[in-house]
Amino acid sequence: MTQQVVTPTTLQAGTWSIDASHSTVAFTARHLMSKVRGTFAEFTGEVVTTGVPTESTVSVVIKAASITTNNEQRDGHLRSADFFDPETGGDLIFTSTGIVESADGFVITGDLTINGITKSVDLAAEFLGSGTDAYGRTVLGAEATTTINRHDFKVDWNMPLDGGRFLVGPKIEITLSIEAVRV
């Protein structure tokens, strides 16, 4: 079966629901001399497109309690008041406020809320195309990345180490690999 892929210049208009089973919300954080990677297992979102990519909107809600790094003890600590505390901090929320073309694709600017604190962030985004999946649904793919300073969102816990170093670095890399289905 031949699958037609539509380029960004021919983006189809519509409302698209993020298919969590074919998408990933991932992060990377510096820990000692290595990097720890993790994901959020539960999230929802919507992309609304016109024929012009820069007129599109994106919204994503990420369940803070669904954080996983494949280490139960660390995941419990990440769900505590030291980091996300989902019971009081709520979910992580991103709502786009604008999209512009860039040399490498697009930049999606939006409001990111973590622990009840909202800051503007820029995500470098790439539209991966759209087409028909094996079930006859129209889908689109995109990937977006950003780096935030966790202290901006009051994710401040740390442990001092010898030599003036700290256990956890301030920068967090976030990657959203999204497949969305037109509704």
Q: What is the pTM of this model?
A: 0.90
Mean pLDDT over all residues of the chain? 92
Domains of the chain, each with CATH number or no CATH: 8-182 (2.40.128.110)
Q: pLDDT band for position 33 (50/70/90)? A: confident
Report the C-alpha gap between 168 and 23 in whole angstroms: 27
For residue 34, name the pLDDT band (cuts at 50, 70, 90).
confident
Question: Which pLDDT score, from 0 to 100, does residue 39 have?
Answer: 98
- Percent of all residues in the chain with a pLDDT value above 90, rounded to a whole number: 83
pLDDT at 142 over 70: yes
The pLDDT of residue 10: 62
Query: Cβ-count burial of 139 within 10 angstroms (0-12 exposed, 13-18 middle, 19+ buried)?
Result: middle
